[in-house]
Amino acid sequence: MDATEAAAVLDRARQGDSEAFQALVERHSRSVFRLAYRMTGNEQDAEDVVQESFLRAYRQLGRFESRANFGTWLYRIVSNCSVDLMRSKQARHDQVRGDSLDEAVELPAADVPGPERMAQSAEIERRVQAALRELSPLERAAFTLRHYEGRSIEEISAALNLGTSAAKHSVFRAVKKLRVALAPLRSQES
């Protein structure tokens, strides 16, 4: 689909043409899923985000400015849907807050696995995921956009509807928490 064709499809979708919207869904679903998965770290949650993002996009399509880039606009919706989903999950899990971070980070020195095991990428991955789960939804979203997606602070603030300073500090807080959480791994490395 070239740029002219894409603009025409988008225009038709904005006027309520569901077939045109279908074309947009088919075109962007995979990238939306990829971002949602990185944001949530969970396949089922990512599927929920994909679905909710497109429904939200359909409802808000009338407000989309045709000069803007649809992919960027959609990516903002996905980011916000991810944050909303993580917040609602966090609210549900607050009462039964897991001990994943305790397991992953605050293990007594004797329980810290040896260097051989630590070298295994699966173990590192498990601990990283546990540490990421301990971030607040906003911190995780900001960190994902900065670290995985390579978005600038300006872009993160636009995507998450935050001020630049708030976006920046969300990233800083995430990095601080991750440093603390992953310190045992670093100390084993050094």
Partner 1 sequence: MSATHYSEDDLTLYYYGEARRRDAIERHLESCSACASVYRDISGTLAMIAPPEAPERGDQYGLEVWQRIRHQLPERPEPWWATFFRRDRLVFAAAAAMLVAAAFVAGRVWPRQPAGVAPSAVLQTASGGPGSIAAGDTRQRILLTSVADHLDRSERVLTDVMNAPDRSDISSAQRWADDLLTTSRLYRQDALDAGEQSVAMVLDDLERNLIEIVNRPSKISAADLEQIRRRIDAAALLFKVRVMSDELRRREDAPDRSTPRTSTRKIS
User: Is the CB of 51 or the CB of 90 nearer to partner 1?
Assistant: 51
CB 160 within 8 A of CB 79: yes
Closest listed residue to residue 100, CA positions, set 119, 128, 136, 142: 128
Figure out which of the listed residues 113, 123, 175, 188 binds partner 1, where binding follows CB under 8 A.
175
Which residues 76-95 are close enough to bind partner 1 by CB under 8 A? none
Rounded Cα gap, residues 68 and 180, in angstroms: 40
* 50 interacts with partner 1 by CB under 8 A: yes
**Backbone angles phi and psi of 131, in degrees to 5:** -65, -40
Rounded Cα gap, residues 17 and 11, in angstroms: 9
Figure out which of the listed residues 29, 90, 100, 188 binds partner 1, where binding follows CB under 8 A.
29
End-to-end Cα spacing for the chain: 51
User: Is the CB of 63 or the CB of 94 nearer to partner 1?
Assistant: 63
Q: Which DSSP state fits 113?
A: P
For the bound state, the minimum distance from the C-beta of residue 81 to partner 1, rounded and expressed in Å, comes to: 13
Binding mask 145-174 for partner 1 (x = CB under 8 A): -xxx---xx--------------x--xx--
Instruction: Work out the burial of residue 166: count CB atoms within 10 Å of its CB; fewer than 13 is exposed, 13-18 middle, 19 or more buried.
Output: middle
Q: Which residues form the interface with partner 1 (CB under 8 A)?
A: 15-16, 18-19, 21-22, 25-30, 33-34, 37-38, 41, 43, 46, 50-51, 54-55, 58-59, 61-62, 124-125, 128-129, 132, 146-148, 152-153, 168, 171-172, 175-176, 178-179, 182-183, 185-186, 189
